[in-house]
A = this chain, B = another copy of it.
């Protein structure tokens, strides 16, 4: 699908600078673009990438366009380059139409389950007793939905998703392949000989518009609920343990782990591989750095880093000081030697001074030594 630059500028309400008659046929990331591609930049440090790229046209903000060398390639001025890029991406690569498979005869569906209009149930899906699935959902092959689960409208369960019994999904939830929601929490009582399972009669409740990545797990509560708040996005291989209460619009990068009963506020972000100890409370709009290990509560709005985690600035100072530790140790030993030498010399001087003054009023260089000498 060939388009002129002027045509695509029209699609994104952009203003062409340069030759609008050039043609493009796709979008591409800046690093891997070729002739015929449209790319975008949204920061000055990306300009070099554009200059080195073979892309045909650029989406760019007005305030950056003057900083570009004029190499004859057309530029399209837009307010939000990434948004415009996404619009063109969907233009050149329209999403596949949603398959309309209806309810597969090869699914295993309890007679007591209720399934809403327009919901697709693919082959091999298992749906237990009393399950309710609202309208417009896509339940992909081999998803297993336990008894008494409830699924809101417009949810997508990718292949092999497992919902243990009693799980609740809000509207518009997306669960990627292999995600497991509502498994028994990891709770045992040690009887002196062995670990006895604590029954888990609570459930997992996933809010509206939540997205959970492939092979992530959210365990059910022992009693009560494990909650993931509306709008929260969770990446692959994340672990949310029993009785956690995650706020709304949180973001969890891959491989984060929350131990039991952790609470988070709204708009809090976890970078990759963060770990949080049980019962820790994290506030609103916090930011946890990659690999941070949290044992203590984090107040609203704080950025915590490191292991054990602390406030970002403090951690940076500690880290910088730690990197200079070997050098400091060397200087430290040298200082010890110089100090010892000074003490010797001062002792010698004092001996002379005392000998001259004949009254010993000057204290000895080392109080202990002086006391011992007395």
Contacts and interface: CB of A to CB of B under 8 A. Distances in A.
Interface of A: 27-29, 31-32, 82-83, 86, 89-90, 93, 95-96, 106, 108, 122-124, 126, 140-142, 144, 147, 158-160, 162, 164-165, 176-178, 180, 183-184, 186, 188-189, 193-195, 197-199, 201, 209, 211, 213-215, 217, 219, 221-225, 231, 233, 235-237, 239, 241, 243, 249, 251, 253-255, 257, 259, 261, 271-273, 275, 277, 290-291, 293, 295, 307-308, 310, 314, 317-326, 328-329, 331-332, 335-336, 338-339, 341-346, 348-350, 352-353, 357, 361-367
Contact of A236 (B28, B93, B186, B348): B186
A349 B164 CA distance: 83
B186 A235 contact: yes
Contacts of A29: 221-224, 243
A49 B158 CA distance: 41
A361 B349 CA distance: 10
Contacts of A189: 82-83, 86
Given A183-B214, A255-B275, 20 more contacts: A29-B223, A32-B224, A86-B189, A89-B201, A93-B201, A95-B201, A96-B165, A124-B126, A177-B180, A183-B236, A215-B215, A217-B237, A291-B293, A321-B326, A328-B329, A332-B332, A341-B365, A341-B366, A345-B364, A349-B362
Contact of A307 (B223, B307, B350, B366): B307
Contact of A343 (B82, B342, B367): B342
Nearest to A85: B223
Most buried by B among A176, A236, A329, A349: A236
Contacts of A367: 341
A188 B233 contact: yes
Contacts of A178: 160, 162, 178, 180, 215
A194 B231 contact: yes
B147 A140 contact: no
- Protomer copies: 3
5 contacts: A29-B222, A217-B236, A273-B293, A338-B343, A348-B361
B165 A142 contact: no
Nearest to A106: B108
Contacts of A198: 82, 86
B325 A318 contact: yes
Nearest to A198: B86
B217 A215 contact: yes
B344 A342 contact: no
B108 A123 contact: yes
A303 B183 CA distance: 30
Contacts of A343: 338, 342
Contact of A321 (B183, B254, B307, B325): B325
